[in-house]
Structures are given as structure tokens and as C-alpha cells.
Chains A and B, each alone.
Chain A
């Protein structure tokens, strides 16, 4: 009789999930699943709320990327009330969003993912963590902790709260940026750009070369990709339009507010997470490893794949080097980490670019707002993928209906495929150990769910 290996909980990710690997009588993998174990129902309980309050409610969807939900929600409420933020209100939102990306990438690469690479995938679990890095590489750890804290504190200093933010408001922003604040943020983001360049160099010289085989094969699947670009095809994190790429490189583009014409969500009985797919490809949905249907991926690798270029110089140079090495679209699952570091460089460069604009300190930060009935759809690129909030309000400006597709959700089907691919290729004849099971988890961790 076969058995089930329960990897529970999946660790060093943000969220509640487990992996179940089913073995047949010969100890080979008959099936493998990633089960999402938790569901809170934000779509339901924002019903009835005054819409302008919602950006400070839905930020609690995620403690790692609260700015993304906060700002996608603000955009959706702008849409409901038919208001356009002032130019500076718009920029202050973007600068906060992009600064939040910096922190997120430092956290994920060094605190969550790096132990697998720096301590080693087969090392004992008790040391394969950030505390192990503190002991094994104290100088690196001290630097990383300091830089993450710098990133967190600069946001907190300017916007009051770095986590579960409140400074974005319908119509713009709640407080202007003083010249003094601007200078101090510029100092900090320049320090962080140096650190970003150090990080990607460090990874390219000391980390990735040791894992070339894993980068090519672990959790490798062939899918499409979803991301956001501007009219020139450049990578955008704060605004732009969606670009969906098939595995063969062909593109479909659509405005954010038409998302429901192009994407649909499949549901399986064994996971609370929905499984979005590209309805517009007209091929249905299947997670078959050899011939998946409708499956696309989101998050760093997807964005790097769909963008024609990046509008900041250092990140563009990194993109060129990456594309030279791995082609377009690159499919290797562990390449998410590499793409994450390219985005880290972009986020630092883009923060500096925004902070250097003179009108960032303008005090006209919020447009006139009147609550009313309407529908608004707001999107941003969250660290974990394209984030969509869709609200409808009544005459009093209170929410009557909400739909959301959050970053990680896009990757639920691909993560299931990567888990099945990793488990099937690693476990044969009932032979497996701790290190090997950790490698299956590494396929999930790349997506930073």
C-alpha cells in the first residue's frame, strides 16, 4: 500500500500551506499537491464599509506586502468615486510602493530563501535558517539586518507606518513630503542601491554558480507569464497595463479594468486557494506537466520575462545579462530569485528617480473627493504578482461588492506543478531524506508565496 509524505507546514514562506506527496506501492510518486490551508474572506467583510476606509482594512491581507493592498485599494476607491489623484499624490503613492518593494526583496532573498543556498539545501534544518546565517556569516547577516531595517524605518519615518500603512488616501496622499524628508529618503535609497548592487553581485559570484543544475531543473515547468508594462513595453510595478505572454513568447495585452475578460479562476476541492488561468487563450485549464493549459506565472520572473526592457540603467544592464544567459521567456523556477534581485536594483533606482523630481514636495497632494456609487478596479504589481482589487459602491460610497485576485494566487497552479515536477524527479523507489524533501519545498519558496 502506498503512503503520503506530509510536509507541514511549508516553512520560510508567508502563509499557511502544506505539501502532500503520494507514493505508490513501489515508492514512486503517484501525485503531489500544495494545499492552501487558510482563508479569511476579506471580499465579504469589506461589504458595507465606507469605501475610503477600505485601503486601511485590506492592507491586513498581507503583513509582508501591505502597501500593495493599500494602494491597489486606494486606486479602486478612486475609481468608485470617479476621482483622479493630484500628480504629487500619485507620485507619493508610487514612491512608497516602490520603497516597500525594496524591503520585501531583501527579506525574501536573505531571510527566507538564502538559508537553502548559503547553509545548503541538505544541511540540518536546525541551522538552515537566518539564525544559522547569523552564526555562519555574521558580517553578511549584520549588513542584511541593518539594510532591511533601514528600508523599513525610512518608510515608517515618512509615512507613519511601514506596516499596515494609512498614508495613502482616496484622491491622493495624507501628508506631503518636506524637503528635509526628501533629502533623508534620498540618502537612504542611495545606500540601498549600493546594497542592491552588492547583493546581485554576491549572488552571481557566490550563490548561483554553485546551483546551476538546480536552477535549470528544480521545479522546472513550462508556462506563460503575466506582468505589467508601460506603453513602451518597459517593466512597471506601480501602474501600466497587463501583458500576458505564452510560453512561445506571443503576447496578449489588456487594460487593468478588463481583467475579468481575460482571466478566470478555477477551483479544486483540495485547496482553499483558487487557481487563476488565462481564459483568453481559449484552451481551458489543466496542470498536466507535459501539456498545461491556461497556466501562467506571475511575480518577479514573470515580470522580467514580459518586459521588453527596464527604464533604469543598472537594472537594464542586469536584465540584458540575464536574458543573454537564459533567453526569453526564461522558465527555470529558481530563476525567480535572480529576477528578484534585478527588481531590487530597479526598485532602488526608481525610488531615487522619483525622489529627485522637484514636484515630489508639492503640497497639493489630495484631490477633492465625494462619495458616490460606482465601480473601480485598481491594480499594482505586488512582490508576489499582479494584484487586482475590484469594488462597487452604493450612493453613500459604501462597498456593496468586491472581488480580488492577489499576487500569490496566480502562482497556485504553477506551484502545484513545480511541486509535482520536483517530487516526481527526486523521489524514486521510496528513497528520500530530509534534504530531498527540503528541495521540494525550495521549488515553492522560489515563488515566495
Chain B
């Protein structure tokens, strides 16, 4: 019998689960050492028993629990509490679980407003917002560690399959996993020439300057090219096993999908500071709050009404 793993997805897109599959052929070898006892995307284990007649939501006991997605409704909470209760070690997988992720952008309005307005689009018949059987929304999107104790955080949107495999292998071998602690910039091979030259950042309306036939380390740093790039304030991880940060490989600037590099950092404030210290006018950033697009949980993004008086 291998190490028992239970996996759940909450306020999520299934990308984290696809990243688990993207471990690829090594996953087949791993399957000899681990047993998935619950993972809705792959296995037909049911909360209320296989005949659907149970009274309480149940997930089997496991050595390791993996949860993707943030927490945004009562069902997410119920599933998360059950996972915490049944799993010895709990891993938050992906940036939604660790920092709220993109769906936490709704925290600028709150869940209720987001849901209400969804039922008012021009193609939607006049209606009441659904409220029978469907789970009741919470006030906002929470990261998993705002609701339960989490033993290990593995961010990324999507998380890097190489790092997921590293964490599972480390658990099997009883050692600490080797997770990068640096910033995206620290793993980026582009050429930096130093400060100066840029006083405002540009929107990404024009491609970066580079020779497509030349190696990436000959392309100049995108921030030095005047493009908003969040590499300085974003946790590394996307480059592991690939050599180059993912977006940079497509010659596109980073938007921060691994969350803040500083523990409990604020990607928006940290980025403003990074720009200012390089002599760049932070007011040239359009829609500043979207710099928190991956990390708006933990109370960082709030409804406009609640924000008044803070600025």
C-alpha cells in the first residue's frame, strides 16, 4: 500500500489537476508508490456514498491532502474542513489556493455583486438569482490558509509539474521539498543593462524588441524595454525544469501568477516600490489594482466602498 493521497478542487478551473497530469510519464512510476483515494477529476469517489444516500459529506482518510482553488461558497468550506480533518498533511496547490488567484479579483465587488450581475447580462432573461440547492456564496474569495491550517504552499497558475513531482517525491522520501525562494527576475536570463532610460511603463500593445532567431539571453530585459513586467516582485517557480520563465519564453512580460516573492508581500505595493526605485513613474500603470490579480485574497482587494478613506 502506497502513500494515500486525497485531492480536491474548490473555486478553481481544473488547471492544477491538469498540471498533476502534466507530470507525464514520471507520474506512471509515481503511481506505484501512491494511491489516490479521492480525486474528483479522475476517480468516482462520492461524498455521500456510492449509492448517494449518506447524510454527511465524507472524504476518505489520507496521508496527504492536496487542495486547489480558493474558498468562495459554503460547499467549498465544507469540503475544505473535511479535507483538513481527514488528511495528515495538507498542501495548498496553485495560486488560487495560496493567494486567491484570479477569481479573487471579484473581491473588488464582493461575491454577491459578481453573482447578481452575472444574471443581468443582455442575453439573460429577467430572473431571480438561483438560490435553491446551489451552495450559498461567502462574502468574498478566501485563500485556503485563511480558513484552515496549511502545511505546504505550492503556488503557480498553473503550478509547475516539476515542482509538484518534487513535493510528492520529498514527502515519499521524508525530506523537505526544494521549492525556489527567489523572484522570477532571479531566474530570468534576459540581458540587463542597468537603470535609466525608462520613465514610464507602456501597456503591452506592441511586441517586445528581440531577434527571434537569437537565444533569449540576448533579448533585453522587458522592464528595461519599458514594458510593465512583474518579475521583480513575483515568486520564482515557472522556470524550474524549463530554464526560462514561461511568459518570457513567449517574449511576453510576467503578470505575477506565482504570487508575491516576499512572504505575505503585496504585489501591487511591492511593484510600485520597484518602479519608483528605478525612477519609473508608477502612475503610468493603468488599472493598478490588477497587479493584485493573482493575490487578492487575505483582504488585499476590497470593495470600493470599503476602500474609501484608505487612500
Contact = CB atoms under 8 A, between A and B. Distances in A.
Interface stretch (B8-16, B171-179, B266-274, B275-283): B8-16
B170 interface: no
Determine chain B's interface SS by DSSP, over half rule.
Answer: loop
B168 to A, nearest CB: 15
Which of B102, B106, B114 is the most central at the interface, judged by chain A CB atoms within 10 Å of its CB?
Answer: B102
The contact size tier of chain A is 35 or more
Contacts of B15: 60, 62-64, 66, 163-164
B309 to A, nearest CB: 20
A257 interface: no
Interface string B114-128: 110111011111011
B45 interface: yes
A308 interface: no
B108 interface: yes
Contacts of B212: 175-176, 178, 363
Given A130-B42, A366-B206, A9 B21 contact: no
Chain B interface size band reads 35 or more
Q: Which of A44, A270, A274, A368 counts the most chain B CB atoms within 10 A?
A: A44
A159 interface: yes
B299 interface: no
A141 B28 contact: yes
A429 to B, nearest CB: 16
User: Which residue among B14, B44, B158 has the maximum number of chain A CB atoms within 10 Å of its CB?
Assistant: B44
Contacts of B305: none
Interface stretch (A10-18, A244-252, A350-358): A10-18
Interface stretch (A261-269, A310-318, A323-331, A339-347): A261-269
A437 B36 contact: no
A64 B27 CA distance: 19
B52 A5 contact: yes
B306 interface: no
Interface of B: 9, 11-19, 21-22, 24-25, 27-28, 31, 36, 40-48, 50-54, 72-73, 75, 101-103, 105-106, 108-109, 111, 113-115, 117-119, 121-125, 127-128, 130-135, 137, 157-158, 203-208, 212-213, 246-252, 255, 257, 286-287, 290, 293
What are the 7 tightest A-B residue pairs by CB atom distance, in nearest-first order? A63-B15, A160-B250, A41-B114, A267-B127, A45-B105, A149-B24, A63-B14
17 contacts: A40-B103, A45-B102, A45-B103, A45-B106, A50-B287, A57-B102, A63-B16, A66-B13, A142-B25, A160-B246, A163-B15, A269-B131, A270-B134, A398-B286, A405-B123, A434-B50, A437-B52
Interface of A: 3, 5-9, 11-16, 20-21, 33, 35-41, 43-46, 48-50, 52-53, 56-57, 60-64, 66, 107, 111-112, 125-126, 128-131, 134, 141-142, 145-146, 148-149, 152-153, 156, 159-167, 169-171, 174-176, 178, 259-260, 263-272, 274, 276, 363, 365-366, 368-371, 396-398, 403, 405, 432-434, 437-438, 441
